[in-house]
Copies of this chain bind each other. A is one copy, B any other.
Amino acid sequence: MSLSVALIGATGYTGLEVARLLTHHPHAELAIATARAEAGKPIASVHPSLAGRLDLELEELDPVRIGKRCDVAMCCLPHAASAETVRRLVDVGVRVIDFSADFRLSSLRVYESWYGVKHPWPERVGKTVYGLPEFFAEEIAGADVVANPGCYPTSAILPLAPLIREGLIRGDDIIIDSKSGVSGAGRSAKVGTLYCETNESIAAYAVGCHRHQPEIEDLVGRIAGREIEALFTPHLTPMSRGILSTIYVRPSEGLAAESASGSTADGSTDPAVDRVMQSWRDCYAGSPFVTPVDHLPATAHVAGTNYVQMSVRRAGERLVLLSAIDNLSKGASGAAVQNMNVMFGYDQQSGLG
């Protein structure tokens, strides 16, 4: 029997991506999709790509009804509003994958200072698993609530965490220069994301003050058991989907020493580069979606998939780590399906390309 899934907040791009992925899923089915302003309309009227593929009427959010019909809910609401809804869903026995930032951070204080709101369910902050199955699969399997990771954090944590944990790189000199497609800005009508504003243009935004910076620092710290400090600069890039993160780090003294003594007689490889690749291969041996590659990854290589391509280059005294993901898939809805798979005992790759 199929899992029955509720999608809360179905009108945005992450909602569409969830719906799209579930039309392919062998073990799950979208049973309820909510959207306050559009309740009563067919979902295809909001997402015309679903015409003929998904016959479902949008409805108002009704936790009791969801509790009766669904095993799991994917909650795509804005922060704070999300935590409230998550609480009501948990109360009626539905397991929840929360797309918001409400339960991602360890610290209530950090959350409230970066998000500027009072948290509606503070008891659960710091006590909710972060939905990165590459590190937290066991806890996800048993969780009632999973905090689905942010898109930029996914692209940064995956390359950084094992290297910090193994002490291969320094934690105090990390620069993350990320480039995201426009879908990351959501589907609400704003002049700044009109076609003619973003087409043929790239620009940085929120330099040094984006909310994903504390999330990256928090999670790498939790995974690696060592605090880090990162400078994070996101850029709006003229493409619909994808994140490329170019990450500038310094080898630790240990790795530097190791590299200095490494054999590069034939000049073809760099011991520090090899060591990073090895660390990634070891760490992600059981993770089907994380793919260390020799070539320089492009966002198009992972577009529409749940894969992460990661690579590394030496540049003078620094190492440059590069990672590419699809921000709507591994950066949001694909990760949610992957989490759902883990929560309900399916293969992580079920229904994911």
The interface residues of chain B lying within 8 Å CB-to-CB of A183 are 196
Q: Does A296 contact B (CB under 8 A)?
A: yes
Asked if A298 lies at the interface with its beta carbon under 8 angstroms from chain B, I say yes
A13-B196, A297-B203 known; A315+B231 contact, CB < 8 A:
yes
Asked whether A72 is an interface residue with its Cβ less than 8 Å from the other chain, the reply is no
Is B244 in contact with A53, judged by CB distance below 8 angstroms?
A: no
Report if A152 contacts B (CB, 8 A): no
Name the interface residues of A293-328: CB closer than 8 Å to any CB of B: 293, 295-305, 307, 309, 313-316, 318, 320, 322, 324
B-facing mask of A172-197, CB < 8 A → 1, else 0? 00010101011100011111011111
- The complex is assembled from copies of this chain, and their number is 4
Q: Could you tell me if B189 and A190 are in contact, using CB atoms closer than 8 angstroms?
A: yes
Instruction: Assess the B293–A52 pair: CB atoms within 8 A.
Output: yes
Asked whether A121 is an interface residue with its Cβ less than 8 Å from the other chain, the reply is no
Cβ-based interface call for A259 (8 A)? no
Output the nearest chain B residue to A173 by Cβ-Cβ distance: B173
Q: Are B241 and A296 in contact (CB under 8 A)?
A: no
CB-CB under 8 A from A193, the residues of chain B are: 194-196
Q: Which positions in A face B, CB cutoff 8 Å?
A: 13, 20, 23-24, 48-49, 51-53, 175, 177, 179, 181-183, 187-191, 193-205, 207-209, 229, 231, 233, 235, 237-242, 244, 246, 248, 291, 293, 295-305, 307, 309, 313-316, 318, 320, 322, 324, 353
